[in-house]
């Protein structure tokens, strides 16, 4: 299968212009931005107050790296698990393919088996793409399997170029361009992973490199994607922050100074400074069409941008889910727990067991009066997860009543209130537990026993 041809673009004038403005700066010693990354101090965020305009595109999307970056940091998934998760991603992304692509390793037979099985499904979305070693043999393999695109690592900070690859910028650029040309010769579309872009020299290396890539794209008429990888999570989204840490500054530079079309730009975030989600949203807002995510954010160190979070960011920015089926997120939580043995931290937004559980008595009282007061949205509708109240020392009568109503799915006429006799008896039992020195919350099983006993005594049927 041949890579999709790019629309004939006339970047020629722009490219000639930019080439002169931003030539490669081939430094003798690495620029490691010691002012921003002193290493023995906490990294710094500096500002020059240059403001770039919003530039969100009409069509934005999510790409998935659950089986690549996500899998790198955990026990590998079995083929069966990959196929099952791929199925869930297909349903979650909906018919418009908001989850547009998913990338797969092709290294081992097991990796390739998973790709063949997922291809057999015949889904248009997520389109299957690959991640390989950058060699002619591997490009041929991508082609043989019938994929259109592959990821290629093009680390771009001097940390990588000088310290890891032991090259100069000029040598790295020459090497990358020859590998990418080889990929294009095979007819495969390269997705260039600009590793460590948030510590790279944007005007001295990244933009001159992108300008060369856009020239190659013109020459071969095959799309070349730029994935901006915030490998260490240093990106920030504050207006006026300086590059290379500024997410909007990087995206603006790629579009305006290197002539990269928005639909060929993806942001790939990490969560080391808790910014993976807001940085990814920022990349959308400033012109990148794609954000690359992994399910539940499972990935290197603190993880990648969680895919489920970007589903809700999408809906908030666009005002519509565009056909995405968010209830699949809850199915995935259950699948990860039961079949993969991965339990999410309970407070994980949208997915953890406690994400919509209220513990404080005073809040529980609010929930009981009207669930909108303490629930982010109709979590039962969108995630099959009605808001819950965990019973603890501070739950009070309202909290216990709410727990009973939810746990037993009582419809409006049958609901108990904080004045119900049943609630009073359960509360008495709960109070006694804490008077006797208990410090943990009361479990559902314990409450079921107490409620069952109390109902028997009162002659109630729930």
CA distance 374 to 365: 10
CA distance 86 to 178: 33
| Closest alpha carbon to 64 in 92, 100, 107, 95 | 100
The string of DSSP letters for 68-81 reads THHHHTSSPPPHHH
Q: Could you tell me the sign of the dihedral formed by the alpha carbons of 168, 169, 170, 172, in that order?
A: positive
Cβ proximity to ligand KIV: between 299 and 387 the closer is 299
Cβ proximity to ligand KIV: between 232 and 430 the closer is 232
Cβ proximity to ligand KIV: between 250 and 333 the closer is 250
Cβ proximity to ligand KIV: between 210 and 389 the closer is 210
Cβ proximity to ligand KIV: between 143 and 160 the closer is 160
* Shortest distance in whole angstroms from residue 270 CB to ligand KIV: 6
By CB under 6 A, residue 90 contacts ligand KIV: no
Cβ proximity to ligand KIV: between 235 and 249 the closer is 235
| Closest alpha carbon to 260 in 194, 170, 176, 186 | 194
Site residues (CB under 6 A) for ligand KIV, limited to 391-450: none
HSE toward the beta carbon, residue 226, CA cutoff 13 A: 29
* Shortest distance in whole angstroms from residue 226 CB to ligand KIV: 12
- Residues 425, 449: contact at Cβ < 8 Å? no
* Shortest distance in whole angstroms from residue 77 CB to ligand KIV: 17
Position among 101, 102, 231, 282 found at the interface with ligand KIV (CB under 6 A): 231
Mask for 262-281, x = binds ligand KIV (CB under 6 A): ------x-x-----------
Give the single-character DSSP code of 162.
I
Cβ proximity to ligand KIV: between 134 and 255 the closer is 134
Cβ proximity to ligand KIV: between 259 and 299 the closer is 299
* Shortest distance in whole angstroms from residue 267 CB to ligand KIV: 11
373-393 as b/e, with b when 16 or more CB fall inside 10 Å?
ebbeeebeebbebbbbbbbbb
Helical H segments across 73-154, by residue range: 79-93, 109-120, 136-145
Cβ proximity to ligand KIV: between 126 and 299 the closer is 299
CA distance 292 to 227: 9
| Closest alpha carbon to 193 in 203, 182, 204, 179 | 179
CA distance 289 to 267: 9
* Shortest distance in whole angstroms from residue 297 CB to ligand KIV: 13
By CB under 6 A, residue 195 contacts ligand KIV: yes
Position among 191, 193, 245, 275 found at the interface with ligand KIV (CB under 6 A): 193
DSSP run (H or E) holding 151 = strand 149-153
Tokens describing residue 331 = 């199915």
* Shortest distance in whole angstroms from residue 231 CB to ligand KIV: 3
Position among 153, 254, 258, 283 found at the interface with ligand KIV (CB under 6 A): 153
Mask for 52-71, x = binds ligand KIV (CB under 6 A): -----------------x--
Tokens describing residue 287 = 């012109």
* Shortest distance in whole angstroms from residue 122 CB to ligand KIV: 28
Cβ proximity to ligand KIV: between 135 and 346 the closer is 135
HSE toward the beta carbon, residue 36, CA cutoff 13 A: 19
Position among 114, 179, 228, 229 found at the interface with ligand KIV (CB under 6 A): 229
* Shortest distance in whole angstroms from residue 457 CB to ligand KIV: 60
Mask for 69-88, x = binds ligand KIV (CB under 6 A): x-------------------
CA distance 407 to 409: 6
Cβ proximity to ligand KIV: between 33 and 335 the closer is 33
Distance of CA 6 to the CA centre of its chain: 27
Tokens describing residue 41 = 């101090």
The number of residues that bind ligand KIV (CB under 6 A) is: 8
Cβ proximity to ligand KIV: between 186 and 271 the closer is 271
By CB under 6 A, residue 225 contacts ligand KIV: no
* Shortest distance in whole angstroms from residue 298 CB to ligand KIV: 13
DSSP run (H or E) holding 8 = none
* Shortest distance in whole angstroms from residue 66 CB to ligand KIV: 13
* Block residue for tokens 């019938």: 146
* Shortest distance in whole angstroms from residue 283 CB to ligand KIV: 14
Tokens describing residue 439 = 């410090």
* Shortest distance in whole angstroms from residue 59 CB to ligand KIV: 24
Phi and psi angles of residue 364, each rounded to the nearest 5 degrees, phi first: -60, -35
The string of DSSP letters for 167-188 reads --HHHHHHHHHHHHHHHHHTTP
Cis ω before 126 (30° cut-off from 0): yes
**Footprint of ligand KIV on this chain (CB under 6 A)?**
69, 153, 193, 195, 229, 231, 268, 270
């Amino acid at each position: 299968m041949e890579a999709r041809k790019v629309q004939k673009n006339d970047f020629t004038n722009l490219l000639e212009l930019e080439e002169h403005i931003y030539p490669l700066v081939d430094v003798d010693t690495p620029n490691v931005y010691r002012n921003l990354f002193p290493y023995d101090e906490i990294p710094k965020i500096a500002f020059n107050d240059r403001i770039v305009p919003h530039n969100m595109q009409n069509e934005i999307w999510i790409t998935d790296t659950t089986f690549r970056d996500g899998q790198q940091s955990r026990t590998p998934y079995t083929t069966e698990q990959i196929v099952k998760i791929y199925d869930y991603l297909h349903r979650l992304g909906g018919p418009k393919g908001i989850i547009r692509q998913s990338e797969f390793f092709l290294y081992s037979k097991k990796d390739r088996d998973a790709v063949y099985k997922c291809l057999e499904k015949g889904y248009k979305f997520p389109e299957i793409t690959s991640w390989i070693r950058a060699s002619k043999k591997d490009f041929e393999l991508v082609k043989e399997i019938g994929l259109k695109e592959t990821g290629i690592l093009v680390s771009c900070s001097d940390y990588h170029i000088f310290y890891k690859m032991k090259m100069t910028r000029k040598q790295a650029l020459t090497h990358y361009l020859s590998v990418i040309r080889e990929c294009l010769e095979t007819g495969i579309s390269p997705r260039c992973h600009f590793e460590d872009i948030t510590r790279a020299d944007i005007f001295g290396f990244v933009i001159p490199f992108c300008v060369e890539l856009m020239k190659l794209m013109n020459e071969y008429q095959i799309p070349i994607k730029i994935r901006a990888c915030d490998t260490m999570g240093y990106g920030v989204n504050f207006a006026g922050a300086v590059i290379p840490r500024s997410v909007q500054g990087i995206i603006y530079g790629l579009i305006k100074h290197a002539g990269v079309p928005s639909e060929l730009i993806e942001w790939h975030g990490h969560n080391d400074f808790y910014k993976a989600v807001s940085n990814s949203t920022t990349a959308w807002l400033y012109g990148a069409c794609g954000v690359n995510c992994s399910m539940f954010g499972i990935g290197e160190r603190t993880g990648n941008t969680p895919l489920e979070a970007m589903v809700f960011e999408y809906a908030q920015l666009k005002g519509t889910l565009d056909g995405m089926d968010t209830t699949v997120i809850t199915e995935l939580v259950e699948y990860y727990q039961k079949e993969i043995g991965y339990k999410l931290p309970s407070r994980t937004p949208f997915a953890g067991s406690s994400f919509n559980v209220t513990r404080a008595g005073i809040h529980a009282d609010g929930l009981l009066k009207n669930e909108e007061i303490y629930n982010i949205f109709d979590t039962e509708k969108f995630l099959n997860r009605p808001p819950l109240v965990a019973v603890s020392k501070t739950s009070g009568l309202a909290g216990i009543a709410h727990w009973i109503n939810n746990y037993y799915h009582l419809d409006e006429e049958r609901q108990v209130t904080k004045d119900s006799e049943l609630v009073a008896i359960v509360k008495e039992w709960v109070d006694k537990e804490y008077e006797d020195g208990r410090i943990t919350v009361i479990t559902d099983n314990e409450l079921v026993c107490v409620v069952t006993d109390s109902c028997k005594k009162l002659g109630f049927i729930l």
